[in-house]
Amino acid sequence: MAAQYYHFGRHQISESEVFYTTQLSFALVNNRPVRPGHVLVCPKREVKRVADLTADETCDLWITAQKIGRQLESYHNASSLTFGIQDGPEAGQTVPHVHIHIIPRTAGDFENNDDDINDEIDLKEKQLKRRLDEEERQIRSLGEMAAEADEYRKLFQ
Ligand code: AMW
């Protein structure tokens, strides 16, 4: 049987990296997670901007993000979550396909955990550069990502 791929912008995402799907959304592990459990939730339809989503897609995306956040916060023994969307290139979006970043958070995980919403959303450009060296965020192997997705899939059975 031919392999099935999900489209995330120009990226073809193999089923092994996807750990949760609904009729309208899918969730994948991140190839450069900034923290353990940093995952992405996307609409199946490839749209660039939040404004391009239908009401059904918007509801489905956020209900999916809520469900995944709850499970991954617990799985990673975290105590908070960051939900982030970079909506358009000037907001820092690098993959032109709507996606919600979900990042389990723990006390002291970032040096400057201020309440500035732009800092929260623009994690890579602001918070993360302070704490994480780019070299520590190498793209991971497909095997490593598939193993992580396997673990998360069990949380939704
Ligand atoms: W953006 O800067 O568009 O808000 O975030 C893009 C996210 O997508 C980053 O966290 C990046 O690590 C992730 N990413 C990019 N390409 C892939 C891929 N092929 N598989 C998994 N995650 C990816």
The confidence score (pLDDT) of residue 131 equals 54
Distance 100 CA to ligand 1 centre (A): 10
Instruction: Give nearest CA residue, ligand 1 atom 20.
Output: 31
- pTM metric for this prediction: 0.88
Q: Hey, what domains does the chain have and what are their CATH numbers?
A: 18-154 (3.30.428.10)
Amino acid at 108: G
Q: Which residues of 35-63 are buried (b: 16+ CB within 10 A; e: fewer)?
A: bebbbbbbbbeebeeeeebeeebeebbee
The better pLDDT of the pair 157, 110 is held by: 157
Which of 5, 16, 26, 31 should be mutated for ligand 1, with most atoms under 8 A from CB? 31
Q: Own/partner pairs for 88-93, CB < 8 Å, 24+ apart? A: 88/48, 88/49, 91/121, 91/122, 92/121, 92/122, 92/124, 92/125
Atom of ligand 1 nearest to the CA of 34: 10
Query: What tens digit of pLDDT does each residue of 19-56 get?
Result: 999 999 999 999 999 899 999 999 999 999 999 999 99
What token pair was written down for 43? 């609409």
- In the sheet that holds 39-43, the strands lie side by side as 18-21, 25-29, 39-43, 100-105, 80-84
Is pLDDT at 129 greater than 60 in this prediction?
Answer: no
Give yes or no: 99 in active site: yes
Which of 10, 42, 94, 128 should be mutated for ligand 1, with most atoms under 8 A from CB? 94
Tell me what the mean pLDDT of segment 92-120 comes to: 81
Query: What tens digit of pLDDT does each residue of 53-72 get?
Result: 999 999 999 999 999 999 99
The confidence score (pLDDT) of residue 111 equals 72
pLDDT band, very low/low/confident/very high, at 123 (cuts 50, 70, 90): low
Is pLDDT at 146 greater than 90 in this prediction?
Answer: yes
What's phi and psi for 83, nearest 5 deg?
-110, 125
pLDDT band, very low/low/confident/very high, at 118 (cuts 50, 70, 90): very low
